[in-house]
Amino acid sequence: MKTRVAVIYGGRSGEHEISLRSAESIIAALNPDRYEVRKFVIGQDGRWSPGPILPEPGAHPDIDVVFPVLHGTFGEDGTMQGLLELAELPYVGANVLASALSMDKDAMKRICRDAGLPVVECIVLHRDDLSADRIDLPFPVFVKPANLGSSVGISKAHNRAELEAALKTAAEFDHKIVVERGIAGREFECSVLGNEHPAAATPCEILPSREFYDYEDKYELNLAKTVLPPDLPQSEIDEMRRLAVACYQAVGCEGMGRVDFLRETSTGRFYINEINTIPGFTSISMYPKMWAYSGIPFADLIDRLIELALERHARRKATRFTR
Protein backbone atom coordinates (compact mmCIF):
# COMPACT_ATOMS: atom_id res chain seq x y z
CA MET A 1 0.00 0.00 0.00
CA LYS A 2 1.51 3.33 -1.05
CA THR A 3 1.71 6.25 1.37
CA ARG A 4 -0.46 9.06 0.05
CA VAL A 5 1.45 12.33 0.36
CA ALA A 6 -0.18 15.71 -0.13
CA VAL A 7 2.41 18.33 -1.13
CA ILE A 8 1.23 21.90 -0.51
CA TYR A 9 3.23 24.64 -2.18
CA GLY A 10 3.15 28.11 -3.72
CA GLY A 11 1.51 30.42 -1.20
CA ARG A 12 0.93 34.12 -0.71
CA SER A 13 4.36 35.11 0.60
CA GLY A 14 7.18 36.85 -1.22
CA GLU A 15 8.85 33.44 -1.39
CA HIS A 16 6.21 31.96 -3.71
CA GLU A 17 8.65 31.18 -6.52
CA ILE A 18 11.14 29.55 -4.16
CA SER A 19 8.33 27.35 -2.82
CA LEU A 20 7.52 26.17 -6.35
CA ARG A 21 11.16 25.24 -6.94
CA SER A 22 11.47 23.46 -3.58
CA ALA A 23 8.30 21.47 -4.22
CA GLU A 24 9.51 20.37 -7.65
CA SER A 25 12.63 18.87 -6.06
CA ILE A 26 10.68 17.13 -3.29
CA ILE A 27 8.07 15.66 -5.64
CA ALA A 28 10.81 14.38 -7.95
CA ALA A 29 12.48 12.67 -4.98
CA LEU A 30 9.34 10.84 -3.81
CA ASN A 31 9.74 7.23 -4.93
CA PRO A 32 6.63 6.36 -7.02
CA ASP A 33 6.88 2.77 -5.81
CA ARG A 34 6.35 3.96 -2.22
CA TYR A 35 4.33 7.14 -2.55
CA GLU A 36 1.25 8.46 -4.28
CA VAL A 37 1.49 12.24 -4.61
CA ARG A 38 -1.38 14.72 -4.46
CA LYS A 39 -0.48 18.29 -5.37
CA PHE A 40 -2.10 21.32 -3.77
CA VAL A 41 -0.94 24.61 -5.29
CA ILE A 42 -1.78 27.90 -3.58
CA GLY A 43 -1.67 30.94 -5.83
CA GLN A 44 -0.30 34.30 -4.79
CA ASP A 45 -3.92 35.39 -4.45
CA GLY A 46 -4.44 32.67 -1.83
CA ARG A 47 -6.65 30.46 -3.99
CA TRP A 48 -6.07 26.70 -3.83
CA SER A 49 -5.96 24.36 -6.79
CA PRO A 50 -7.64 21.89 -6.98
CA GLY A 51 -9.28 23.07 -3.76
CA PRO A 52 -8.42 23.69 -0.11
CA ILE A 53 -7.80 21.15 2.60
CA LEU A 54 -10.78 21.32 4.94
CA PRO A 55 -10.21 21.88 8.69
CA GLU A 56 -12.33 18.88 9.65
CA PRO A 57 -11.17 15.51 11.03
CA GLY A 58 -11.83 12.76 8.51
CA ALA A 59 -12.47 15.13 5.61
CA HIS A 60 -9.48 13.81 3.68
CA PRO A 61 -9.34 9.99 3.90
CA ASP A 62 -7.22 9.99 0.73
CA ILE A 63 -4.29 11.73 2.50
CA ASP A 64 -1.91 9.89 4.82
CA VAL A 65 0.56 12.72 5.43
CA VAL A 66 1.06 16.32 4.30
CA PHE A 67 4.37 17.85 3.21
CA PRO A 68 3.93 21.63 3.43
CA VAL A 69 6.54 23.36 1.26
CA LEU A 70 5.44 26.91 1.98
CA HIS A 71 8.24 29.33 2.78
CA GLY A 72 7.48 32.48 4.72
CA THR A 73 4.19 34.11 5.68
CA PHE A 74 0.97 32.04 5.59
CA GLY A 75 2.88 28.77 5.45
CA GLU A 76 5.92 28.70 7.70
CA ASP A 77 4.46 30.84 10.49
CA GLY A 78 2.02 28.41 12.08
CA THR A 79 -1.04 29.28 10.01
CA MET A 80 -0.86 26.24 7.73
CA GLN A 81 0.14 24.05 10.66
CA GLY A 82 -2.99 25.18 12.51
CA LEU A 83 -5.15 24.17 9.56
CA LEU A 84 -3.54 20.73 9.43
CA GLU A 85 -3.97 20.27 13.19
CA LEU A 86 -7.69 21.03 12.85
CA ALA A 87 -7.89 18.50 10.03
CA GLU A 88 -6.04 15.93 12.19
CA LEU A 89 -3.59 15.26 9.37
CA PRO A 90 0.05 14.28 9.99
CA TYR A 91 2.43 16.84 8.51
CA VAL A 92 6.13 17.34 8.02
CA GLY A 93 7.92 19.97 10.08
CA ALA A 94 7.42 22.08 13.17
CA ASN A 95 4.11 22.43 15.02
CA VAL A 96 2.04 25.61 15.36
CA LEU A 97 3.91 27.18 18.27
CA ALA A 98 7.42 26.32 17.08
CA SER A 99 6.59 27.59 13.59
CA ALA A 100 5.26 30.91 14.89
CA LEU A 101 8.15 31.44 17.32
CA SER A 102 10.78 30.59 14.73
CA MET A 103 9.24 32.84 12.10
CA ASP A 104 9.22 35.87 14.39
CA LYS A 105 12.84 37.03 14.67
CA ASP A 106 12.09 39.02 17.81
CA ALA A 107 10.32 36.13 19.60
CA MET A 108 13.01 33.66 18.51
CA LYS A 109 15.74 35.87 19.94
CA ARG A 110 13.89 36.21 23.24
CA ILE A 111 13.47 32.43 23.55
CA CYS A 112 17.12 31.78 22.71
CA ARG A 113 18.30 34.50 25.08
CA ASP A 114 16.26 33.00 27.92
CA ALA A 115 17.86 29.62 27.12
CA GLY A 116 21.32 31.17 27.45
CA LEU A 117 22.06 30.99 23.73
CA PRO A 118 24.03 33.71 21.93
CA VAL A 119 22.03 36.11 19.75
CA VAL A 120 22.96 39.50 18.32
CA GLU A 121 21.80 42.59 20.18
CA CYS A 122 18.77 44.22 18.60
CA ILE A 123 16.10 46.87 18.97
CA VAL A 124 12.49 46.27 17.94
CA LEU A 125 10.36 48.99 16.34
CA HIS A 126 6.82 49.01 14.98
CA ARG A 127 5.38 50.43 11.80
CA ASP A 128 3.59 53.26 13.62
CA ASP A 129 6.81 54.39 15.35
CA LEU A 130 9.82 54.16 13.04
CA SER A 131 11.89 56.82 14.77
CA ALA A 132 15.57 56.28 13.96
CA ASP A 133 16.33 58.20 17.16
CA ARG A 134 15.50 55.08 19.14
CA ILE A 135 18.35 53.14 17.55
CA ASP A 136 21.42 53.39 19.76
CA LEU A 137 23.42 50.67 18.02
CA PRO A 138 26.65 51.48 16.17
CA PHE A 139 26.62 51.45 12.38
CA PRO A 140 26.40 49.36 10.34
CA VAL A 141 23.11 47.77 11.36
CA PHE A 142 20.80 45.24 9.71
CA VAL A 143 17.12 46.15 9.41
CA LYS A 144 14.72 43.24 9.00
CA PRO A 145 10.98 42.57 8.89
CA ALA A 146 10.36 40.39 11.95
CA ASN A 147 8.31 37.83 10.02
CA LEU A 148 9.70 36.94 6.63
CA GLY A 149 12.37 34.75 5.07
CA SER A 150 14.86 34.48 2.22
CA SER A 151 16.26 37.90 3.21
CA VAL A 152 13.20 39.63 1.70
CA GLY A 153 12.96 43.23 2.92
CA ILE A 154 16.33 43.13 4.70
CA SER A 155 18.78 46.04 4.33
CA LYS A 156 22.19 46.91 5.68
CA ALA A 157 22.41 50.53 6.82
CA HIS A 158 25.75 52.33 7.15
CA ASN A 159 24.41 55.75 8.18
CA ARG A 160 21.31 57.63 9.33
CA ALA A 161 19.91 58.19 5.82
CA GLU A 162 20.26 54.51 4.91
CA LEU A 163 18.71 53.53 8.24
CA GLU A 164 15.61 55.63 7.65
CA ALA A 165 15.19 54.19 4.16
CA ALA A 166 15.74 50.64 5.47
CA LEU A 167 13.09 51.08 8.15
CA LYS A 168 10.53 52.14 5.54
CA THR A 169 11.42 49.16 3.34
CA ALA A 170 11.11 46.66 6.19
CA ALA A 171 7.80 48.19 7.29
CA GLU A 172 6.33 47.36 3.88
CA PHE A 173 6.66 43.67 4.76
CA ASP A 174 5.76 43.58 8.47
CA HIS A 175 4.43 45.77 11.24
CA LYS A 176 7.33 44.74 13.50
CA ILE A 177 10.90 45.58 12.52
CA VAL A 178 14.11 44.22 14.04
CA VAL A 179 17.28 46.33 13.95
CA GLU A 180 20.43 44.35 14.73
CA ARG A 181 24.02 45.30 15.39
CA GLY A 182 26.05 44.50 12.29
CA ILE A 183 28.45 41.61 12.81
CA ALA A 184 31.71 41.71 10.87
CA GLY A 185 32.46 38.08 10.23
CA ARG A 186 31.45 34.90 8.43
CA GLU A 187 28.07 33.26 7.74
CA PHE A 188 27.27 29.60 8.36
CA GLU A 189 24.27 27.29 8.18
CA CYS A 190 23.56 24.03 10.00
CA SER A 191 20.81 21.50 9.25
CA VAL A 192 18.91 19.78 12.08
CA LEU A 193 16.68 16.70 11.80
CA GLY A 194 14.53 14.84 14.31
CA ASN A 195 11.74 14.96 16.87
CA GLU A 196 12.57 14.25 20.53
CA HIS A 197 16.23 13.47 19.80
CA PRO A 198 17.36 15.80 17.00
CA ALA A 199 20.78 15.67 15.38
CA ALA A 200 22.76 18.28 13.47
CA ALA A 201 24.56 17.73 10.17
CA THR A 202 28.00 19.03 9.29
CA PRO A 203 27.51 22.78 8.80
CA CYS A 204 28.54 24.80 5.76
CA GLU A 205 29.89 28.29 5.21
CA ILE A 206 28.17 30.79 2.93
CA LEU A 207 30.40 33.12 0.90
CA PRO A 208 28.11 35.89 -0.44
CA SER A 209 28.98 37.68 -3.64
CA ARG A 210 27.47 40.88 -2.24
CA GLU A 211 27.83 42.71 1.04
CA PHE A 212 25.48 40.20 2.65
CA TYR A 213 23.54 37.10 1.58
CA ASP A 214 20.40 38.79 0.26
CA TYR A 215 17.53 37.45 -1.88
CA GLU A 216 19.22 38.19 -5.21
CA ASP A 217 22.43 36.54 -4.08
CA LYS A 218 20.54 33.46 -2.91
CA TYR A 219 18.31 32.86 -5.90
CA GLU A 220 19.13 35.08 -8.89
CA LEU A 221 22.80 35.95 -9.31
CA ASN A 222 24.21 32.44 -8.92
CA LEU A 223 27.49 33.94 -7.67
CA ALA A 224 27.48 33.06 -3.96
CA LYS A 225 29.66 30.12 -2.97
CA THR A 226 29.36 27.51 -0.23
CA VAL A 227 32.06 25.60 1.60
CA LEU A 228 31.14 22.16 2.93
CA PRO A 229 32.68 21.24 5.30
CA PRO A 230 33.63 24.70 6.52
CA ASP A 231 37.23 25.72 7.06
CA LEU A 232 37.05 25.69 10.86
CA PRO A 233 38.68 23.71 13.69
CA GLN A 234 36.68 20.61 14.60
CA SER A 235 35.98 22.11 18.03
CA GLU A 236 34.18 25.05 16.41
CA ILE A 237 32.22 22.79 14.07
CA ASP A 238 31.12 20.74 17.08
CA GLU A 239 30.13 23.91 18.94
CA MET A 240 28.03 25.12 16.02
CA ARG A 241 26.25 21.77 15.83
CA ARG A 242 25.59 21.89 19.58
CA LEU A 243 24.15 25.40 19.34
CA ALA A 244 22.00 24.41 16.35
CA VAL A 245 20.38 21.56 18.29
CA ALA A 246 19.99 23.77 21.37
CA CYS A 247 18.22 26.47 19.33
CA TYR A 248 16.01 23.85 17.65
CA GLN A 249 14.97 22.45 21.03
CA ALA A 250 14.52 25.88 22.64
CA VAL A 251 11.81 26.86 20.17
CA GLY A 252 10.27 23.36 20.28
CA CYS A 253 11.05 22.49 16.68
CA GLU A 254 10.39 19.00 15.29
CA GLY A 255 10.95 17.35 11.93
CA MET A 256 13.44 19.71 10.36
CA GLY A 257 15.07 23.08 10.73
CA ARG A 258 18.06 25.03 9.48
CA VAL A 259 19.88 27.27 11.93
CA ASP A 260 21.88 30.16 10.50
CA PHE A 261 24.94 31.54 12.28
CA LEU A 262 27.28 34.50 12.27
CA ARG A 263 30.86 34.12 13.49
CA GLU A 264 32.30 37.42 14.65
CA THR A 265 35.87 37.81 13.41
CA SER A 266 37.09 40.00 16.27
CA THR A 267 35.91 37.62 19.01
CA GLY A 268 35.55 34.24 17.28
CA ARG A 269 32.11 34.03 18.86
CA PHE A 270 29.15 32.32 17.18
CA TYR A 271 25.77 34.06 17.17
CA ILE A 272 22.49 32.37 16.24
CA ASN A 273 21.03 34.49 13.47
CA GLU A 274 17.74 32.70 12.81
CA ILE A 275 16.06 29.31 12.45
CA ASN A 276 14.05 28.27 9.40
CA THR A 277 11.42 25.58 10.00
CA ILE A 278 10.75 24.96 6.27
CA PRO A 279 14.17 25.42 4.70
CA GLY A 280 14.65 25.47 0.96
CA PHE A 281 14.79 22.26 -1.04
CA THR A 282 15.80 23.79 -4.37
CA SER A 283 18.78 22.60 -6.40
CA ILE A 284 21.00 25.14 -4.61
CA SER A 285 19.53 24.77 -1.10
CA MET A 286 21.98 23.76 1.57
CA TYR A 287 19.63 21.97 3.99
CA PRO A 288 19.55 18.76 1.92
CA LYS A 289 23.15 19.20 0.77
CA MET A 290 24.44 19.27 4.36
CA TRP A 291 22.55 16.06 5.11
CA ALA A 292 23.81 14.44 1.91
CA TYR A 293 27.37 15.25 3.00
CA SER A 294 26.56 13.82 6.44
CA GLY A 295 25.33 10.52 4.96
CA ILE A 296 21.63 11.00 4.20
CA PRO A 297 20.95 11.39 0.44
CA PHE A 298 18.09 13.63 -0.72
CA ALA A 299 15.52 10.87 -1.32
CA ASP A 300 16.35 9.20 2.02
CA LEU A 301 16.00 12.57 3.74
CA ILE A 302 12.49 12.99 2.34
CA ASP A 303 11.62 9.46 3.54
CA ARG A 304 12.90 10.28 7.01
CA LEU A 305 10.92 13.53 7.21
CA ILE A 306 7.72 11.69 6.35
CA GLU A 307 8.52 9.03 8.97
CA LEU A 308 9.06 11.74 11.59
CA ALA A 309 5.71 13.32 10.70
CA LEU A 310 3.89 10.01 11.12
CA GLU A 311 5.72 9.27 14.39
CA ARG A 312 4.73 12.62 15.86
CA HIS A 313 1.11 12.23 14.76
CA ALA A 314 0.92 8.79 16.40
CA ARG A 315 2.31 10.29 19.60
CA ARG A 316 -0.19 13.13 19.50
CA LYS A 317 -3.11 10.71 19.08
CA ALA A 318 -2.28 9.32 22.51
CA THR A 319 -3.09 12.74 24.01
CA ARG A 320 -6.56 13.38 25.47
CA PHE A 321 -8.25 16.66 24.49
CA THR A 322 -11.53 16.12 26.34
CA ARG A 323 -12.46 15.03 29.85
**Residue 15 known to be catalytic:** yes
Q: Are the CB atoms for 258 and 189 separated by under 8 Å?
A: yes
Q: DSSP character for 133?
A: G
30 vs 8: CA distance, rounded Å: 14
Q: Are the CB atoms for 130 and 166 separated by under 8 Å?
A: no
Q: How far is CA 120 from CA 175, 183, 225, 271, in A?
A: 21, 8, 24, 6
- Helix/strand/coil (H, E, C) string of 183-211? CCEEEEEEEEEECCCCEECCCEEEECCCC
User: How many residues are given for the chain?
Assistant: 323
Instruction: Given the residues 9, 11, 14, 15, select the one marked as catalytic.
Output: 15
**Residue 11 known to be catalytic:** no
Instruction: Given the residues 150, 155, 285, 294, select the one marked as catalytic.
Output: 150
Number of helices and strands in the chain (H, E): 9, 14
81 vs 217: CA distance, rounded Å: 29
Q: Are the CB atoms for 184 and 265 separated by under 8 Å?
A: yes
Instruction: Given the residues 64, 174, 205, 260, select the one marked as catalytic.
Output: 260
Instruction: Given the residues 9, 35, 213, 219, select the one marked as catalytic.
Output: 219
Q: Are the CB atoms for 263 and 188 separated by under 8 Å?
A: yes
DSSP class per residue in 32-44 = TTTEEEEEEEE-T
* Identity at 170, one-letter amino acid code: A
**Residue 274 known to be catalytic:** yes
Instruction: Given the residues 258, 271, 285, 312, select the one marked as catalytic.
Output: 258
- Which neighbouring-strand residues pair with 140? none
Contacts of 61 (CB under 8 A, 6+ apart): none
**Residue 260 known to be catalytic:** yes
66 vs 3: CA distance, rounded Å: 11
101 vs 113: CA distance, rounded Å: 13
Instruction: Given the residues 276, 287, 294, 303, select the one marked as catalytic.
Output: 276
Instruction: Given the residues 77, 205, 274, 303, select the one marked as catalytic.
Output: 274
Residues that are catalytic: 15, 150, 219, 258, 260, 274, 276, 280
